[in-house]
């Protein structure tokens, strides 16, 4: 059995993954500044032996404060944006300007455990 998951940030019709460099991180954060966006985490359970799989996604809404030049520079200088979808980690320094409005906290931070539990329940009830 394999459990897999990944997360993206979605703003309007744009999907923001992990930034390649500081310039891309800055562009992503500027695009989120003063706006709401969605954090979408997909989770899959896959039984390699049988090929059976079940997949679903959790969605949370996050609102960013307006980022001034100093706040943006300080955040980028800290490097927390590296390896983060949308270039931020709400559980870290970005928590000063990013607020969860709806959905589950653990969906934004990492693995959405409510969804994992739901998938396991669905898996077990269909066997």
Q: Is 6 annotated as catalytic?
A: yes
Q: Could you give the CA distance from residue 44 to residue 55 in angstroms, rounded to a whole number?
A: 4
Tokens representing residue 116 in the block: 């994992």
Catalytic residue among 6, 56, 93, 106: 6
Q: Which residues of 17-48 are buried (b: 16+ CB within 10 A; e: fewer)?
A: ebbeeeeebbebbebbeeeebbbbbebebeee
Active site positions, annotated: 6
């Amino acid at each position: 059995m394999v459990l897999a998951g990944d997360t993206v940030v979605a703003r309007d019709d744009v999907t923001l993954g992990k930034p390649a460099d500081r310039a891309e991180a800055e562009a992503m954060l500027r695009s989120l500044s003063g706006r709401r966006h969605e954090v979408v985490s997909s989770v899959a359970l896959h039984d390699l032996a049988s090929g059976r799989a079940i997949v679903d996604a959790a969605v949370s809404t996050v609102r960013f404060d307006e980022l001034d030049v100093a706040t943006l520079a300080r955040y980028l200088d800290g490097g927390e944006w590296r390896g983060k979808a949308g270039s931020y980690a709400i559980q870290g320094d970005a928590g000063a300007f990013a607020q969860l409005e709806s959905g589950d906290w653990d969906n934004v931070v990492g693995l959405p455990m409510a969804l994992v539990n739901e998938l396991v329940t669905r898996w077990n009830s269909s066997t």
